Structure 1
Amino acid sequence: MLEWLDSRLTESQRQLPPGEFWRYRVLLGATTLMMVLAGLYVLGIPTFAPEERLPQILVVGVCMAAFGAVMALTRRLPSPTLPSLLLCLGLFVGFVLGTLPVDASGAVSHAVGMLIPALSVYLLGPRRGFFFTALLMLYVGLFHQLYHSGFGQVRPVFHHPGIWLGNLVSCVSLLMSWALSWLYGTVREESQAALQQALKTLRESEGKLLSVLESTEDVVVALDREGRVVTANMMAKAVGRHLYGRDLERGAHLEWMASPGLQEMFQKALRGKRERVEMSVPAPGRPLTLDVTFNPVWEGERVVGATLFSRDITERKEAEARLAELHRGLVDVSRHAGMAEIATGVLHNVGNTLNSVNVSAHLVVERLRTSRAAGLDKAVELLRENASRLGAFLEEDPRGRQFPAYLAALSGQLAQERESVLEELRRLTESVDHIKSVVSMQQQHARFSGVMERVEVPTLLDDAMRLNAVSFERLGIQLRREYTASSSAVMVDRHKLLQILVNLLSNARHALVESQRPDKQLTLRVEEAGARLRIAVADNGVGIAPEILQRLFSQGFTTKKDGHGFGLHISALSAEELGGSLQCESEGPGTGATFILELPLA
């Protein structure tokens, strides 16, 4: 039936919104049914009295003409309003002409009369529908009985009160039919508007979702419980063409699912679990590495399928491999850089100590060169010349009489010179011992490079301090140690940890020198922090600005004129390799800085 009705509409009418499209359908359907009803009515005309047959034929003819006009105008006019008016008018006229001759109870209560309010409200709206309903109510409730009473001339107007009452009930029924049709139409329109808004929102959401799915470089495929493709984005189709030479068709089984691993993941997803794996897929040219994820699709409490997300991570994996190789190179470079840093410290301290050795040696030489002991040669010569008369020389010769006093004075001076030379020689010996200690310590730590061992951090921290002791003392840096940890042993590469500590102490020394403060202070703390050991190197130097603090450990970043931006970056990497972390805290310029190294306790 609907197909037949649609065939009577034009193509443009069939493309109208659902509300207008259905109005055309109802208009044609009602007209067709009325024509069928009129045809059936014609079959009953012979049962009428001879004098009534012609009026009935006239009624049917008028109605059929109106209905035919409706059918013709519906296809030709751009709006259904005029055909709808003509249909309702034809029904009203046909109802009046058909019931007017009948003077009997219930003559105007025909079922066709109830169609007019309902049909007019649906096709024309509540206002125009009320117009036809009001006309029909006037006819049913007033004009029909007035006509048969001859307007009071043939018989009293209310000669049949029962008929009047029945007609009044019919009027109320007609009004109720209009009201219910109006109420239904209002609810239907509101529901239709809500439905259209929901559909619009759904279409917009679907459009956005489709846009997101199509704009992503990831493969997205929705599968039903049998592993058949429900939908796939363009990237999935492109990958399908690349791997298998054809598109992913809806309803086809995904060929990737032939892999036992993926099939197992798919089955787990159907059981409500999210699965993820990295897999290698053979492809023309080179294998692809894919990051594949299966997510269950729920419908209420039931899993109805799964969504496959896949991303090509081949380039990322290759980049990670290159990065790992670069990291290994950085580790080697850091080891050499750390060794160079320590060697620089060793040379710096040895150089400063050699300066002290040189000064002490020059002082000893100068004091020996200017020693009063040289005057003994003259005294010995006088004694040798007067050896035969030594007594008389000492008692009678003016020079001899001065000899005892001279010897006494010379003895005192020689004693002072002896003490001075011994003091310088002691300092010289200490400097040589310090050089031996520094070189020995460097050799000891270098022997254990790359070996994980149990290390007492305070001892190693003191060793790192000794590498900078001379320069710290010369610069007037006050050192304070706060070793409060009850357990301070860690399992680390001794040489690598020493590199970190030497670098932190070197940075602290530079910060203190740049601050030009008279009260330069360096604090070393070793304390427990749960299962980790916290080593803090705090100075009251120039401090660090917040914007610099964020980039402090970046490779190549430095604030020193002659810096290379390598030390702190390598120290942070080394700390991570030791299972720890390195961070810095500073409240800003002029407030000093604290570098915190945390390592797991042994």
Structure 2
Amino acid sequence: MRAAEPTGQSSPSTGSRAWILQRLDAVLSEPLRRAPPSELVRYRILVGAAFFLFLFNALFTVWSFLLEQSLYPSTIACLLYLGSVLLMRGSTTPGPAAVLMLTTMVLVLLGTALEYRLPYFGMHALTMLIPALAVFLAGAPAGLFVTVLMIAMLCVGYPLYLSRVGINPEAFSSAYLVFSHFFAGVAFLGAWGLGSLHNSTRDSAQAFLERTLKALRDSESKLSSVLESTDDLVVSVDLEGRLLTANSAARQFHLRCYGKEPVVGELFGTSQPERPELWGPPLARVRAGERARLEDEYELDGSRHLLDVHLSPLLDLEGRAVGMTLFARDITARRDAETRLGELHRTLVDTSRQAGMAEVTTGVLHNVGNTLNSVNISTSIITERLRKSRLSGLAKATGLLSEHSSDLASFLTQDAQGQQLPAYLIAVSRQLQEEREGLLREMQALGESVEHINSIIAMQQMHARAAGVLEQVAIPQLIDEAMRLLAGSFEQLGIRVERDYAPVPPISVDRHKLLQILINLLSNARHALVDSQKQDKWMRLRIQPASDGTGVRIEVTDNGVGIAPENLPRLFMQGFTTKKTGHGFGLHISALSAAEMKGRLTCSSPGLGQGATFTLELPTAAQEPHG
């Protein structure tokens, strides 16, 4: 985002201050010049104070020369102050320069006191400045060193000198002098303490300010990144339309529309909207502190573009609108898509009927396929039993009888083979009787499967013409019928089937539609168990009344491969399957059929490898099927 910057000419006083600051910064080393503003202030004051004291002592040296007094003290002080400036030029920290300057100040005061032998010079008001200045410029530890040095020299050493060596041996014995210099030392420590407290408070406030500024800068940077990353136009202007900020999309829009990039402080776009009747009411609402929205068209690159524009007021602290922010999005493509969508709607209405027919056809094929699995199993069992049949042995026995038809009596009574033949024929007849009964059972199951295929096809044909026929159905018997259609596969695969049937009343449903759902659920459980690596494979069938007493609850539970949590929400969607050879239609058709009967089909699973439970809930009262 680009923001406005302060403009205008600088006053002479501002220019002179800037010149002075530039001269002070020129003395600082490069690391010190890059310091934060709060630290840079201290460095500038240190350099300025050293320069002032250097000039002051240089002037004093000239004055001493004119008065023919000693030049050494002031000259040495000038050199020490100049050394402080040079240290600031070559050092990365201000500590050494500050300590040198402050120590020089203390020594100058001591030298002045010794020169003029003033008994109470240690209590001069100027001395109170040194502890506070020491803490400010050099920090609390270095400031304490300077303060203790000053107390030792001015409050202890100087009075001791006056009383023992100086002109007034009785001076230090004066109670008043001791009292005054003692409290002067306490005052120096107090000045140092107040300076330290000021520094701590200032540093704490500065740290808080820096954290706040950093948070604001981070927030501004994130907001700027968001605004710059969007393709929407984001512009802020004042009430006269002069630009305050604009993101890159808005700048590019202005460039394409008006041939130049917008300039902060100038009008964004034209001075007046192209259509005042369109923009007038929204702008009036924004000036009143309300939000507004409009749509406007613009000519861009030879084509018309439609913009969706949102206007939000910029409010001052008193809640008055001082500007506005414009958010605009090019919705030309969306409107074109809406137009095309309207044109396609009629086509979709027609194709939806065809899609429904395709879904019905898919359901027929899927359920017929499930039943054909049972047919294939039954035919395989019949073929295997015929292949292993004892008919070949019976043929051999009848061959022996034919060979010995002339002496049949002696063959059956005297020949070793003949004597065994009656018992063998009896055993074969019994075996053939058992094979006949097994084949009859398989043929009955095969007939039921074919009948179920016919029922599925007839049910779908009836569904295409009218609603299915409702009849009273006993749920346990219908589940057992579905199991008979698949029983061969469960027995051969070694799957243990458990039944837990609670007494429930018959329900009025479309029998073949419910049978189709049950076969799909049983077939899915069988596949889950086949794919499982567990040795003990079982499936539990449970029937119980619904919790509200108005329906029946059927549960099919297995300990097979289970279902991943992320797949549960998609389980009943058309086309979704976890089987390598699956098509994803069985559960989808079953869920639709359950809904048509005013029921509900759900699934739960603890996770992969932990099995699954499919629950079918149906009302007891008769429900008219609906499409």
Q: Is the structural similarity TM-score above 0.5?
A: yes
Q: Are 2:131 and 2:188, in contact at CA under 8 Å, matched by a contact in 1?
A: yes
When residues 18 and 7 of structure 1 are mapped into structure 2, their CA distance, relative to the original with a 3 A threshold, is: same
Counterpart residue number, 1:76: 90
Q: Distance in 2 between matches of 1:274 and 1:156?
A: 87
Q: Distance in 2 between matches of 1:540 and 1:81?
A: 87
1 CA distance for matches of 2:43 and 2:584? Answer: 88
SS at 2:329's partner residue? strand
User: Normalising by structure 1, what TM-score?
Assistant: 0.58
Question: 2:69 maps to what in 1?
Answer: 54
2:242 is the counterpart of 1:228: yes
In structure 1, the partner of 2:304 is 287
State which drifts further: 90-99 or 109-118.
109-118
Q: Which amino acid in structure 2 is aligned with residue 317 of structure 1?
A: R
* Matched residue, 1:31: 50
Q: Provide Cα deviations, 1:302-350, integer angstroms capped at 9, x if missing partner.
A: 23322211122222222222222222211233467789999xxxxxxxx
| Structure 2 portions without partners, runs of 5+ | 1-16, 361-461, 476-509, 523-550, 558-562, 593-597, 604-612, 620-627
Structure 2 equivalent of residue 6 of structure 1: 22
2:281 pairs with one of 252, 264, 276: 264
Q: CA deviation at 1:474?
A: 13
Q: Deviations over 1:281-309 (max 9, x none)?
A: 22113221222111223333423322211
Matched, 1:22 2:41: yes
What do residues 195-240 of structure 1 show as CA deviations (whole Å, max 9, x unaligned)? 2222222222221111111112222112223222211111211222
Matches of 1:28 and 1:108, distance apart in 2: 26
Partners of 1:6 and 1:25 within 8 A in 2: no
CA distance in 2, matches of 1:145, 1:324: 104
The answer to whether residue 346 in structure 2 is matched with residue 328 in structure 1 is yes
**1:367 match:** none
2:219 to 195, 205, 208: 205
Amino acid at match of 1:467: A
2:91 is equivalent to residue 92 of structure 1: no
Larger radius of gyration: 1
Q: Contact 2:233–2:249 at 8 Å: present in 1 too?
A: yes
Q: Distance in 2 between matches of 1:286 and 1:174?
A: 81
Alpha-carbon distance between aligned partners in 2 of 1:44 and 1:248, rounded to the nearest angstrom: 64
Report Cα offsets for 1:150-199 as digits up to 9, x if no partner: 34996235344333332223222211111111111111112222222222
Q: Measure, in 1, the Cα distance between the counterparts of 2:554 and 2:131.
A: 95
Q: Which amino acid aligns with 2:337?
A: A
Cα shift at 1:95: 0.8
Q: SS of the counterpart of 2:327?
A: strand
* 1:542-593 deviation line (CA, Å, top 9, x unaligned): 99x9968768687x8899979899999x9xxxxxxxxxxxx98433476447
Determine the C-alpha separation between the residues in 1 that align with 2:358 and 2:185: 111
Q: What TM-score, normalized to structure 2?
A: 0.56
CA shift digits 1:390-424 (9 cap, x unpaired): xxxxxxxxxxxxxxxxxxxxxxxxxxxxxxxxxxx
State whether structure 2 residue 274 is matched by structure 1 residue 274. Answer: no
Q: Aligned equivalents of 1:565 and 1:306: distance in 2?
A: 56
1:102 aligns with 2:119: no
Task: Answer whether contact 2:24 2:44 (CA < 8 A) is retained.
Answer: no
Which residue of 1 is the match for residue 466 of structure 2?
467
Q: Which moved more, 1:189-198 or 1:151-160?
A: 151-160
The answer for the alignment partner of 1:172 in structure 2 is 186
Q: In the aligned structure 2, how far is the partner of 1:272 from the partner of 1:76?
A: 58
More moved, 328-337 vs 293-302: 328-337
Q: Over the residues paired in the alignment, what is the CA RMSD in angstroms?
A: 4.9
2:237 aligned with 1:218, yes or no? no
User: What is the CA–CA distance in structure 2 between the aligned matches of 1:196 and 1:562, rounded to whole Å?
Assistant: 61
Cα distance in 1 between the residues matched to 2:236 and 2:281: 17
Mark the CA change 1:84 to 1:279 in structure 2 (over 3 Å): closer, same or farther.
same
Distance 2:49 2:99 in 1: 13
Q: Are positions 1:195 and 2:226 aligned together?
A: no
CA deviations on 1:36-62 (whole Å, 9 max, x unpaired) are 433564577599xx7xx624x433222
Q: Give 1:305's aligned amino acid.
A: G
Distance 1:33 1:86, change over 3 A: same
1:273 maps to amino acid: E
* The 10-residue stretch of structure 1 (238-247 or 34-43) with the greater mean CA deviation from structure 2: 34-43
Counterpart of 2:331? 313
Deviation at 1:17, TM superposition (A): 2.0
CA distance in 2, matches of 1:132, 1:466: 108
SS at the partner of 2:300? coil
Shift of 1:255: 1.7
Q: How does 1:392-411 map to 2 (within 5 A)?
A: none
Alignment of 1:376-415 (within 5 A): none
Change in 2 beyond 3 A, CA 1:282/1:29: same
Q: 1:564 to 1:320 in 2, by over 3 A?
A: farther
Cα distance in 2 for residues equivalent to 1:94 and 1:562: 99
Whether 1:296 aligns to 2:313 is yes
- CA spacing shift, 1:539–1:263, aligned 2, 3 Å: farther
Asked whether the 8 Å contact 1:62–1:90 carries over to 2, the reply is: no
In structure 2, relative to structure 1, the CA distance for the partners of 1:198 and 1:99 (3 Å cut) is same
With over 3 angstroms needed to count, the CA separation of the structure-2 counterparts of 1:267 and 1:38, relative to structure 1, is farther
* More deviation, 180-189/287-296: 287-296
Contact 1:511 1:541 in 2 (8 A): no
Question: Which residue of the other structure, out of 188, 195, 200, is the alignment partner of 1:181?
Answer: 195
Q: 1:157 to 1:309 in 2, by over 3 A?
A: same
Task: Report if the CA contact (8 A) 2:130-2:147 is conserved.
Answer: yes
Distance 1:114 1:150 in 2: 26
After superposition, give the CA deviation of every residue in 1:455-479 in whole Å (9 maximum; x if it has no partner). Answer: xxxxxxxx99983456x679999xx
Q: Distance in 2 between matches of 1:271 and 1:179?
A: 55
CA contact (8 A) 1:274 1:295 kept: yes
> Are 1:132 and 2:151 counterparts?
no
Report the CA distance shift for 1:285/1:515 in structure 2 as closer, same or farther (over 3 A). Answer: same
Say if 2:471 and 2:511, in contact at 8 Å, map to a contact too.
no
User: Which amino acid in the other structure matches residue 223 of structure 1?
Assistant: V
Cα distance in 1, alignment partners of residues 244 and 38 from structure 2: 31
Give the C-alpha shift of residue 105 in structure 1: 4.8
Structure 1 vs Structure 2: percent identity of aligned residues?
A: 30
Structure-2 change in CA distance of 1:125 and 1:511 (3 Å): same
Deviation per residue, 1:338-372 (Å, 9 max, x gap): 89999xxxxxxxxxxxxxxxxxxxxxxxxxxxxxx
Conservation of the 8 A alpha-carbon contact between 1:297 and 1:305: yes
